Structure 1
Amino acid sequence: MTEKDNIKAQQDSIILEEKPWINLKGYKAKLDRGKPQWFIFLWWLLEGLIFPLTPHNFSGLRCSLLRLFGAKIGQGVVIRASARVYFPWKLEIGDYSWIGENVYIYNLDNVKIGSHTVISQKSYLCTGSHNIKNANFELTTAPIFIGNGVWIASDCFISLGVKIGANTIIGARSTVLKSIPSQKIAWGNPCKIIKNRTLSDI
Protein backbone atom coordinates (compact mmCIF):
# COMPACT_ATOMS: atom_id res chain seq x y z
CA MET A 1 0.00 0.00 0.00
CA THR A 2 1.39 3.39 -0.98
CA GLU A 3 1.68 6.38 1.33
CA LYS A 4 -1.22 8.00 -0.53
CA ASP A 5 -3.37 4.92 0.11
CA ASN A 6 -2.44 5.00 3.82
CA ILE A 7 -3.46 8.64 4.12
CA LYS A 8 -6.79 7.93 2.41
CA ALA A 9 -7.44 4.93 4.70
CA GLN A 10 -6.74 7.09 7.76
CA GLN A 11 -9.12 9.77 6.51
CA ASP A 12 -11.84 7.18 5.90
CA SER A 13 -11.32 5.78 9.40
CA ILE A 14 -11.64 9.23 10.96
CA ILE A 15 -14.92 9.83 9.12
CA LEU A 16 -16.39 6.59 10.47
CA GLU A 17 -15.24 7.40 14.00
CA GLU A 18 -16.95 10.79 14.11
CA LYS A 19 -20.01 10.92 16.35
CA PRO A 20 -23.39 11.21 14.55
CA TRP A 21 -25.46 14.26 15.35
CA ILE A 22 -28.75 12.39 15.11
CA ASN A 23 -30.08 9.49 17.20
CA LEU A 24 -32.26 7.25 15.05
CA LYS A 25 -32.79 4.92 18.01
CA GLY A 26 -35.01 7.62 19.49
CA TYR A 27 -36.97 8.18 16.27
CA LYS A 28 -40.75 7.94 16.55
CA ALA A 29 -42.90 8.60 13.51
CA LYS A 30 -45.66 10.95 14.67
CA LEU A 31 -47.99 10.65 11.71
CA ASP A 32 -51.75 10.67 11.29
CA ARG A 33 -52.08 7.87 8.75
CA GLY A 34 -55.84 8.38 8.56
CA LYS A 35 -56.66 4.67 8.54
CA PRO A 36 -55.99 1.62 10.76
CA GLN A 37 -52.88 -0.45 10.07
CA TRP A 38 -54.78 -3.44 8.65
CA PHE A 39 -56.49 -1.16 6.11
CA ILE A 40 -53.14 0.28 5.03
CA PHE A 41 -51.59 -3.18 4.62
CA LEU A 42 -54.61 -4.30 2.60
CA TRP A 43 -54.16 -1.35 0.24
CA TRP A 44 -50.43 -1.98 -0.20
CA LEU A 45 -51.13 -5.66 -0.91
CA LEU A 46 -53.83 -4.99 -3.50
CA GLU A 47 -51.88 -2.19 -5.16
CA GLY A 48 -48.80 -4.38 -5.39
CA LEU A 49 -50.72 -7.32 -6.84
CA ILE A 50 -53.45 -5.75 -8.97
CA PHE A 51 -51.99 -2.53 -10.41
CA PRO A 52 -49.00 -4.14 -12.19
CA LEU A 53 -51.19 -6.86 -13.73
CA THR A 54 -53.86 -4.58 -15.18
CA PRO A 55 -53.64 -3.88 -18.94
CA HIS A 56 -52.20 -0.55 -20.05
CA ASN A 57 -55.55 1.01 -20.97
CA PHE A 58 -57.51 -0.17 -17.89
CA SER A 59 -57.28 3.17 -16.08
CA GLY A 60 -60.95 2.93 -15.10
CA LEU A 61 -60.25 -0.19 -13.05
CA ARG A 62 -57.29 1.41 -11.32
CA CYS A 63 -59.30 4.57 -10.59
CA SER A 64 -62.12 2.45 -9.16
CA LEU A 65 -59.70 0.66 -6.87
CA LEU A 66 -58.29 3.97 -5.64
CA ARG A 67 -61.81 5.31 -5.03
CA LEU A 68 -62.64 2.15 -3.10
CA PHE A 69 -59.84 3.07 -0.72
CA GLY A 70 -60.95 6.68 -0.32
CA ALA A 71 -59.37 8.65 -3.17
CA LYS A 72 -61.41 11.40 -4.80
CA ILE A 73 -60.91 11.01 -8.54
CA GLY A 74 -62.81 12.82 -11.28
CA GLN A 75 -64.02 11.48 -14.59
CA GLY A 76 -61.73 10.58 -17.48
CA VAL A 77 -58.60 10.28 -15.33
CA VAL A 78 -55.73 8.19 -16.74
CA ILE A 79 -53.49 6.36 -14.25
CA ARG A 80 -50.84 4.01 -15.60
CA ALA A 81 -50.28 0.54 -14.14
CA SER A 82 -46.82 1.33 -12.77
CA ALA A 83 -47.95 4.46 -10.88
CA ARG A 84 -47.99 4.20 -7.09
CA VAL A 85 -50.04 5.99 -4.42
CA TYR A 86 -49.02 5.65 -0.77
CA PHE A 87 -52.31 6.64 0.91
CA PRO A 88 -55.29 6.83 -1.52
CA TRP A 89 -57.52 8.49 1.10
CA LYS A 90 -55.18 11.50 1.02
CA LEU A 91 -55.37 11.94 -2.76
CA GLU A 92 -57.67 14.12 -4.87
CA ILE A 93 -57.49 14.34 -8.68
CA GLY A 94 -59.74 16.46 -10.90
CA ASP A 95 -61.29 15.51 -14.25
CA TYR A 96 -59.27 14.30 -17.27
CA SER A 97 -55.86 14.39 -15.59
CA TRP A 98 -53.07 11.94 -16.40
CA ILE A 99 -50.70 10.14 -14.03
CA GLY A 100 -47.85 8.61 -16.04
CA GLU A 101 -45.67 5.52 -15.78
CA ASN A 102 -43.68 5.06 -12.56
CA VAL A 103 -45.06 8.21 -10.95
CA TYR A 104 -44.84 7.90 -7.16
CA ILE A 105 -47.24 9.90 -5.01
CA TYR A 106 -45.77 9.67 -1.51
CA ASN A 107 -48.69 11.34 0.20
CA LEU A 108 -48.14 11.14 3.93
CA ASP A 109 -50.06 14.43 3.75
CA ASN A 110 -52.76 15.51 1.29
CA VAL A 111 -52.04 15.75 -2.43
CA LYS A 112 -54.54 17.63 -4.60
CA ILE A 113 -54.18 17.63 -8.39
CA GLY A 114 -56.45 19.74 -10.56
CA SER A 115 -58.28 18.95 -13.80
CA HIS A 116 -56.59 18.50 -17.20
CA THR A 117 -53.21 18.20 -15.48
CA VAL A 118 -50.38 15.87 -16.52
CA ILE A 119 -47.89 14.29 -14.11
CA SER A 120 -45.39 12.68 -16.46
CA GLN A 121 -43.44 9.46 -16.02
CA LYS A 122 -41.02 8.91 -13.13
CA SER A 123 -42.04 12.09 -11.32
CA TYR A 124 -42.05 11.95 -7.51
CA LEU A 125 -44.46 13.91 -5.32
CA CYS A 126 -43.11 13.84 -1.77
CA THR A 127 -45.09 15.26 1.16
CA GLY A 128 -42.67 14.03 3.84
CA SER A 129 -39.25 15.05 5.11
CA HIS A 130 -37.31 15.26 8.39
CA ASN A 131 -36.40 18.08 10.76
CA ILE A 132 -32.61 18.37 10.58
CA LYS A 133 -32.64 20.54 13.72
CA ASN A 134 -34.15 17.70 15.76
CA ALA A 135 -31.78 15.11 17.26
CA ASN A 136 -34.29 12.31 16.70
CA PHE A 137 -34.80 13.19 12.99
CA GLU A 138 -38.45 14.17 13.56
CA LEU A 139 -40.83 13.53 10.65
CA THR A 140 -42.37 16.59 9.00
CA THR A 141 -45.17 16.67 6.43
CA ALA A 142 -46.99 19.26 4.34
CA PRO A 143 -49.55 19.00 1.51
CA ILE A 144 -48.88 19.46 -2.20
CA PHE A 145 -51.32 21.34 -4.46
CA ILE A 146 -51.08 21.25 -8.26
CA GLY A 147 -53.55 23.40 -10.18
CA ASN A 148 -55.61 22.92 -13.34
CA GLY A 149 -53.91 22.59 -16.71
CA VAL A 150 -50.44 22.01 -15.26
CA TRP A 151 -47.80 19.85 -16.95
CA ILE A 152 -45.17 18.29 -14.72
CA ALA A 153 -42.71 16.87 -17.27
CA SER A 154 -40.84 13.60 -16.76
CA ASP A 155 -38.63 12.77 -13.77
CA CYS A 156 -39.47 15.82 -11.64
CA PHE A 157 -39.29 15.99 -7.84
CA ILE A 158 -42.05 18.00 -6.14
CA SER A 159 -41.30 18.73 -2.48
CA LEU A 160 -43.62 19.01 0.49
CA GLY A 161 -45.59 22.23 0.87
CA VAL A 162 -45.26 23.17 -2.80
CA LYS A 163 -48.15 24.79 -4.68
CA ILE A 164 -48.05 24.95 -8.47
CA GLY A 165 -50.48 27.39 -10.04
CA ALA A 166 -52.83 26.75 -12.96
CA ASN A 167 -51.48 26.35 -16.50
CA THR A 168 -47.85 26.25 -15.41
CA ILE A 169 -45.25 23.96 -17.05
CA ILE A 170 -42.43 22.39 -15.04
CA GLY A 171 -39.58 21.19 -17.28
CA ALA A 172 -38.18 17.67 -17.19
CA ARG A 173 -35.96 16.60 -14.28
CA SER A 174 -36.69 19.72 -12.27
CA THR A 175 -36.46 19.81 -8.48
CA VAL A 176 -39.32 21.95 -7.21
CA LEU A 177 -38.62 23.08 -3.64
CA LYS A 178 -40.71 26.28 -3.64
CA SER A 179 -44.15 27.17 -4.96
CA ILE A 180 -44.53 28.33 -8.57
CA PRO A 181 -47.35 30.76 -9.51
CA SER A 182 -49.88 30.28 -12.29
CA GLN A 183 -49.04 30.65 -15.99
CA LYS A 184 -45.28 30.19 -15.75
CA ILE A 185 -42.68 28.04 -17.49
CA ALA A 186 -40.08 26.86 -15.00
CA TRP A 187 -37.34 24.27 -14.80
CA GLY A 188 -34.00 23.47 -13.21
CA ASN A 189 -32.41 22.17 -10.03
CA PRO A 190 -33.58 24.01 -8.06
CA CYS A 191 -36.56 24.91 -10.25
CA LYS A 192 -36.74 28.57 -11.28
CA ILE A 193 -39.21 30.57 -13.35
CA ILE A 194 -37.92 31.05 -16.90
CA LYS A 195 -40.74 33.06 -18.41
CA ASN A 196 -44.45 33.78 -18.32
CA ARG A 197 -46.96 31.69 -20.23
CA THR A 198 -50.02 33.20 -21.92
CA LEU A 199 -53.07 31.80 -23.65
CA SER A 200 -51.68 33.12 -26.94
CA ASP A 201 -48.83 30.57 -26.62
CA ILE A 202 -51.33 27.77 -27.33
Structure 2
Amino acid sequence: MYNQNTHTGASFSLRNRVGRVIWGLVYVLLFRFSPKPLHEWRAFLLRLFGAKVGHGVHVYPKVNIWAPWNLVLKDECGVANGAILYSMGAITIGMQAVVSQGAHLCAGTHDYTKSGFPLVTMPITIGDNAWIAAETFIHPGITIGEGCVIGARAVVTQDMPAWMVCAGHPCKPIKERILSGSGRSSAVPLDESSTVC
Protein backbone atom coordinates (compact mmCIF):
# COMPACT_ATOMS: atom_id res chain seq x y z
CA MET A 1 0.00 0.00 0.00
CA TYR A 2 1.11 3.56 -0.68
CA ASN A 3 1.23 4.67 2.97
CA GLN A 4 1.34 2.48 6.07
CA ASN A 5 0.31 5.23 8.49
CA THR A 6 -3.14 6.61 7.80
CA HIS A 7 -2.81 9.12 10.65
CA THR A 8 -0.10 11.04 8.80
CA GLY A 9 -1.04 10.64 5.14
CA ALA A 10 -3.30 9.24 2.47
CA SER A 11 -3.54 5.51 1.89
CA PHE A 12 -3.40 5.93 -1.90
CA SER A 13 -1.04 7.64 -4.31
CA LEU A 14 -1.67 11.08 -5.76
CA ARG A 15 -2.35 9.45 -9.15
CA ASN A 16 -5.03 7.25 -7.60
CA ARG A 17 -6.65 10.19 -5.83
CA VAL A 18 -6.64 12.38 -8.93
CA GLY A 19 -8.14 9.51 -10.92
CA ARG A 20 -10.96 9.20 -8.40
CA VAL A 21 -11.65 12.94 -8.55
CA ILE A 22 -11.93 12.78 -12.34
CA TRP A 23 -14.10 9.65 -12.11
CA GLY A 24 -16.31 11.41 -9.54
CA LEU A 25 -16.94 14.27 -11.96
CA VAL A 26 -17.72 11.90 -14.83
CA TYR A 27 -19.97 9.88 -12.54
CA VAL A 28 -22.03 12.92 -11.52
CA LEU A 29 -22.19 14.54 -14.94
CA LEU A 30 -22.50 11.54 -17.28
CA PHE A 31 -23.20 8.35 -15.36
CA ARG A 32 -25.53 8.87 -12.41
CA PHE A 33 -28.29 10.70 -14.26
CA SER A 34 -28.14 8.71 -17.50
CA PRO A 35 -31.45 7.03 -18.44
CA LYS A 36 -31.84 3.51 -17.06
CA PRO A 37 -31.86 1.73 -20.47
CA LEU A 38 -28.46 3.18 -21.48
CA HIS A 39 -26.42 0.27 -20.15
CA GLU A 40 -23.99 0.38 -23.07
CA TRP A 41 -23.26 4.05 -22.38
CA ARG A 42 -22.41 3.33 -18.75
CA ALA A 43 -20.32 0.32 -19.79
CA PHE A 44 -18.43 2.62 -22.17
CA LEU A 45 -17.70 5.09 -19.35
CA LEU A 46 -16.51 2.29 -17.07
CA ARG A 47 -14.20 0.97 -19.77
CA LEU A 48 -12.76 4.47 -20.23
CA PHE A 49 -11.67 4.28 -16.60
CA GLY A 50 -10.11 0.83 -16.88
CA ALA A 51 -12.95 -1.50 -15.93
CA LYS A 52 -13.10 -4.82 -17.76
CA VAL A 53 -16.74 -4.98 -18.88
CA GLY A 54 -18.20 -7.92 -20.78
CA HIS A 55 -21.08 -8.11 -23.26
CA GLY A 56 -24.63 -7.29 -22.16
CA VAL A 57 -23.69 -5.99 -18.70
CA HIS A 58 -26.42 -4.06 -16.86
CA VAL A 59 -24.99 -1.54 -14.40
CA TYR A 60 -27.72 0.84 -13.31
CA PRO A 61 -27.09 4.60 -12.98
CA LYS A 62 -27.22 4.84 -9.20
CA VAL A 63 -24.62 2.18 -8.49
CA ASN A 64 -21.91 3.71 -6.28
CA ILE A 65 -18.49 2.78 -7.74
CA TRP A 66 -15.31 3.79 -5.90
CA ALA A 67 -12.68 2.94 -8.54
CA PRO A 68 -13.77 1.51 -11.92
CA TRP A 69 -10.25 0.31 -12.78
CA ASN A 70 -10.57 -2.35 -10.06
CA LEU A 71 -13.73 -3.88 -11.56
CA VAL A 72 -14.22 -6.98 -13.72
CA LEU A 73 -17.84 -7.33 -14.86
CA LYS A 74 -18.42 -10.47 -16.88
CA ASP A 75 -21.03 -11.06 -19.59
CA GLU A 76 -24.67 -10.34 -18.76
CA CYS A 77 -24.13 -9.62 -15.06
CA GLY A 78 -26.33 -7.01 -13.41
CA VAL A 79 -25.76 -4.48 -10.62
CA ALA A 80 -28.86 -2.71 -9.27
CA ASN A 81 -29.40 0.89 -8.22
CA GLY A 82 -28.13 1.59 -4.71
CA ALA A 83 -25.48 -1.13 -4.74
CA ILE A 84 -22.04 -0.06 -3.50
CA LEU A 85 -18.95 -1.43 -5.21
CA TYR A 86 -16.29 -0.19 -2.77
CA SER A 87 -13.49 -1.29 -5.06
CA MET A 88 -10.38 -0.25 -3.15
CA GLY A 89 -9.28 -3.75 -4.15
CA ALA A 90 -10.38 -5.88 -7.09
CA ILE A 91 -14.05 -6.85 -7.41
CA THR A 92 -15.05 -9.47 -9.96
CA ILE A 93 -18.72 -10.15 -10.74
CA GLY A 94 -19.27 -13.32 -12.73
CA MET A 95 -21.28 -14.06 -15.84
CA GLN A 96 -25.05 -13.63 -15.33
CA ALA A 97 -24.50 -12.87 -11.64
CA VAL A 98 -26.87 -10.36 -9.99
CA VAL A 99 -26.03 -7.84 -7.28
CA SER A 100 -29.29 -6.43 -5.90
CA GLN A 101 -30.17 -2.99 -4.58
CA GLY A 102 -28.32 -1.81 -1.50
CA ALA A 103 -25.76 -4.62 -1.52
CA HIS A 104 -22.34 -3.46 -0.31
CA LEU A 105 -19.20 -5.16 -1.62
CA CYS A 106 -16.31 -3.82 0.48
CA ALA A 107 -12.84 -4.76 -0.81
CA GLY A 108 -10.83 -2.89 1.82
CA THR A 109 -10.38 -2.66 5.58
CA HIS A 110 -7.78 -1.46 8.09
CA ASP A 111 -5.24 -3.45 10.10
CA TYR A 112 -6.20 -2.49 13.64
CA THR A 113 -3.23 -4.48 15.07
CA LYS A 114 -0.79 -1.86 13.77
CA SER A 115 -0.45 1.64 15.18
CA GLY A 116 -0.56 3.23 11.73
CA PHE A 117 -3.99 1.64 11.06
CA PRO A 118 -2.90 0.86 7.46
CA LEU A 119 -5.41 0.11 4.76
CA VAL A 120 -5.57 -3.52 3.61
CA THR A 121 -7.23 -4.44 0.32
CA MET A 122 -8.45 -7.94 -0.53
CA PRO A 123 -10.29 -9.04 -3.68
CA ILE A 124 -13.96 -10.02 -3.78
CA THR A 125 -15.12 -12.59 -6.34
CA ILE A 126 -18.76 -13.26 -7.15
CA GLY A 127 -19.15 -16.48 -9.14
CA ASP A 128 -21.11 -16.97 -12.35
CA ASN A 129 -24.91 -17.17 -11.90
CA ALA A 130 -24.73 -16.08 -8.26
CA TRP A 131 -27.31 -13.77 -6.70
CA ILE A 132 -26.38 -11.27 -4.01
CA ALA A 133 -29.75 -10.20 -2.58
CA ALA A 134 -30.75 -6.79 -1.26
CA GLU A 135 -28.61 -5.04 1.36
CA THR A 136 -26.11 -7.85 1.73
CA PHE A 137 -22.70 -6.86 3.13
CA ILE A 138 -19.69 -8.75 1.77
CA HIS A 139 -16.40 -8.44 3.63
CA PRO A 140 -12.99 -8.06 1.92
CA GLY A 141 -11.38 -11.19 0.53
CA ILE A 142 -14.61 -13.17 0.08
CA THR A 143 -15.39 -15.58 -2.75
CA ILE A 144 -19.03 -16.41 -3.49
CA GLY A 145 -19.25 -19.70 -5.36
CA GLU A 146 -20.89 -20.26 -8.73
CA GLY A 147 -24.70 -20.28 -8.54
CA CYS A 148 -24.72 -19.33 -4.85
CA VAL A 149 -27.62 -17.24 -3.50
CA ILE A 150 -26.94 -14.87 -0.59
CA GLY A 151 -30.13 -13.89 1.23
CA ALA A 152 -31.19 -10.32 1.89
CA ARG A 153 -29.24 -8.41 4.55
CA ALA A 154 -26.79 -11.24 5.09
CA VAL A 155 -23.32 -10.38 6.42
CA VAL A 156 -20.77 -12.51 4.62
CA THR A 157 -17.57 -13.01 6.60
CA GLN A 158 -16.28 -16.19 4.93
CA ASP A 159 -16.36 -17.84 1.51
CA MET A 160 -19.70 -19.33 0.48
CA PRO A 161 -19.99 -22.57 -1.51
CA ALA A 162 -21.29 -23.04 -5.04
CA TRP A 163 -24.97 -23.76 -5.71
CA MET A 164 -26.11 -23.18 -2.14
CA VAL A 165 -28.65 -20.80 -0.63
CA CYS A 166 -26.96 -18.92 2.20
CA ALA A 167 -28.25 -16.33 4.67
CA GLY A 168 -27.85 -14.83 8.11
CA HIS A 169 -25.52 -12.77 10.25
CA PRO A 170 -23.00 -14.23 9.96
CA CYS A 171 -23.99 -15.80 6.65
CA LYS A 172 -24.03 -19.59 6.47
CA PRO A 173 -25.22 -22.23 3.97
CA ILE A 174 -28.86 -23.27 4.42
CA LYS A 175 -29.78 -25.57 1.56
CA GLU A 176 -28.85 -26.51 -1.98
CA ARG A 177 -30.04 -24.27 -4.79
CA ILE A 178 -32.07 -26.37 -7.22
CA LEU A 179 -32.77 -25.03 -10.70
CA SER A 180 -36.08 -26.33 -12.01
CA GLY A 181 -35.55 -28.61 -14.99
CA SER A 182 -31.80 -28.66 -14.40
CA GLY A 183 -31.61 -32.30 -13.40
CA ARG A 184 -29.60 -31.41 -10.31
CA SER A 185 -30.25 -33.86 -7.49
CA SER A 186 -32.16 -32.61 -4.48
CA ALA A 187 -30.40 -32.20 -1.17
CA VAL A 188 -31.77 -32.06 2.37
CA PRO A 189 -31.63 -28.47 3.70
CA LEU A 190 -29.06 -27.91 6.45
CA ASP A 191 -31.65 -25.96 8.45
CA GLU A 192 -35.31 -26.62 7.64
CA SER A 193 -36.48 -23.55 9.59
CA SER A 194 -34.35 -21.07 7.69
CA THR A 195 -35.72 -18.87 4.93
CA VAL A 196 -34.21 -16.54 2.37
CA CYS A 197 -35.83 -13.26 1.35
- Tell whether the structures are fold-level matches, with TM greater than 0.5: yes
TM range (shorter): 0.7 to 0.9
Correspondent of 1:156 among 136, 139, 151 = 136
- DSSP 3-state at the match of 1:53: coil
| Unaligned 5+ runs, structure 1 | 1-23
- TM-aligned CA deviation for residue 199 of structure 1: 3.9
More helix by share: 1
1:85 to 35, 54, 65: 65
Provide the C-alpha distance between the structure 2 equivalents of 1:144 and 1:201, rounded to a whole number of angstroms. Answer: 31
Whole-Å Cα distance in 1 between the matches of residues 95 and 67 of structure 2? Answer: 20
Cα distance in 2 for residues equivalent to 1:44 and 1:201:
45
Residue 26 (structure 1) aligned with residue 3 (structure 2): no
Superposition RMSD in Å: 1.9
Aligned counterparts, 1:42-191, within 5 A: 42-191=22-171
Instruction: Give % identity.
Output: 35
The CA deviation at 1:57 is 1.1
CA contact 1:71–1:88 (8 Å) conserved in 2: yes
* Larger displacement relative to structure 2 (184-193 or 37-46): 37-46
Q: How many residues align?
A: 178
Q: Contact 2:124 / 2:140 at 8 angstroms: preserved in 1? A: yes
Report the alpha carbon displacement of residue 31 of structure 1 after superposing the two structures with TM: 4.1
Q: What is the SS of the residue equivalent to 2:166?
A: strand
Structure 1 residue 200, shift from structure 2 partner? 4.7
TM-score (norm 2): 0.84
Aligned CA distance change for structure 1 residues 150 and 111 (closer, same or farther; 3 Å): same
Please say which structure displays the higher CA radius of gyration: 1
TM-score by length of structure 1 reads: 0.82
Q: Does the 8 Å contact 2:126/2:145 carry over to 1?
A: yes
CA contact (8 A) 1:29 1:139 kept: no
Any idea what the Cα deviations from partners look like across 1:77-116, whole Å, max 9, x if unmatched?
1111100211111100111111001111001110111100
Three-state SS of the structure 2 residue aligned to 1:26 is coil
Q: Give the CA deviation at 1:27.
A: 4.7
Unaligned runs of 5+ in 2: 183-197
